[in-house]
Amino acid sequence: MLADISLKRRFLNLRTAISFALALAFLPFLLLQLDVDLSDSLQRMRSSSPLPYLTAFLVYYATFPLRAWRWRLLLKNAGEHRVPSLWRLTQILLINWFANAIVYGRLGDAYRAYLLRMETGAGFTRAVGTVVAERIMDLMVIVSLTLLAGLGAWRESEWTALPFLGLGLLSSLGVFLLVAAWLGPWLATILPPRLGQIMASLQQGVLGSFRQLPFIALLSIAIWLLETARFFLIATALDLKVNPMLLLFTAQAVALLVALPLTPGGIGIVEPGVAGILMLALPREAAWSVAILDRTVSYLSLIVVGLTVLLAREFFRLKGVAPRKLPNNKEEG
């Protein structure tokens, strides 16, 4: 049986507050060390156009229903029949992203599977497998778009290695999936029964998710093109002209940096990464203004929206509005 995951104990506690504050304080320190004229960057942000900036918000949050739709398909492919509505899955995903934004180690991904189990009684391990499958799909799309960005900017001397990097990563992913498909059943037979059951359920969640692959891939591409559009809108708000291929590459690089479980939501890592990439085409302060303004959309606003959704969910759960948990799947405790 899974232990209860308390909201207060996991997220709203002193340790989380300290780790979040330290990560947040690291960014001004980094700006000082890199000798960035912060006043110039702030002035650029204050004079930004509101319409493209607000549109960037809409574009960013439009990705969550698409992610929920994709996850719903992955869950059904993995054999889960008691799948919540698109609206409830969108709420769970917002809570997932919020948790990843404030705690280390991307614990929000596991919390997502836990919330699904509490909502429907779905198998926890299988649900985790679908999250892993989603991450693999994202990585395949990210690498493919990185490859496209590299080919699109082939004549730029700084980018000549990108196509080869993309091909290498795609090949590695293909090998990983083949090895997992081959070794998974064998490992399930040699492990102790309980571990073998968990391994089989995890493999079913991961590999079983890859049905209806063309449509799931199209959803994934749409999600990451919207992420690129967000950067385009932020640059437009700042009245900056940037090569679309560079913005495409930037969006994919952000996804990889956020995935590193080093700081909450990649804070202190994503910002210099984005600025460093954009400095290939923009002055330093302009690049940092894009990086910081984008994070007000994809990080600061997420904390507000995600926390609101989480607290509302807890409120309605305590009031008895949330649906009761269905009986657990028999294959998992």
Return d(Cα 329, Cα 120) in angstroms, integer. 10
Dihedral, CA of residue 297, residue 300, residue 303 and residue 308, to nearest 10: -70
Return d(Cα 269, Cα 278) in angstroms, integer. 15
**Do the beta carbons of residue 131 and residue 113 sit within 8 Å?**
yes
User: DSSP string of 53-70?
Assistant: HHHHHHHHHHHHHHHHHH
Half-sphere exposure of 287 (CA within 13 A, CB side): 22
Q: What are the Cα distances from residue 156, in Å, to 142, 226, 280, 291?
A: 20, 25, 10, 22
Backbone Cα Rg of the chain? 21
What was the pLDDT predicted at 225?
92
Q: What are the Cα distances from residue 258, in Å, to 41, 95, 107, 140, 325?
A: 23, 16, 13, 16, 32
Angle at 199 between CA 198 and CA 205, to 5 degrees: 90
Mean pLDDT by 10 residues, the chain (333 residues): 48 63 64 64 82 96 96 86 89 92 79 86 79 82 76 53 54 54 54 52 55 82 93 94 85 80 78 86 88 92 91 78 49 44
Any idea how long the chain is?
333
pTM of the model: 0.77
Helix-helix angle 124-152:193-207, to 10 degrees:
40
Q: Which of 151, 135, 137, 102 is nearest to 305 (CA)?
A: 102
User: What three-state secondary structure class fits 212?
Assistant: coil
What was the pLDDT predicted at 236?
94
Q: Which of 5, 55, 59, 3 is nearest to 251 (CA)?
A: 59
Return d(Cα 284, Cα 120) in angstroms, integer. 49
Return d(Cα 252, Cα 145) in angstroms, integer. 7
**Left (φ > 0), alpha (ψ -120 to 50) or beta: where does 296 sit?**
alpha
Residue keyed to tokens 């996804």: 255
Q: Which of 303, 313, 302, 263 is nearest to 7 (CA)?
A: 313
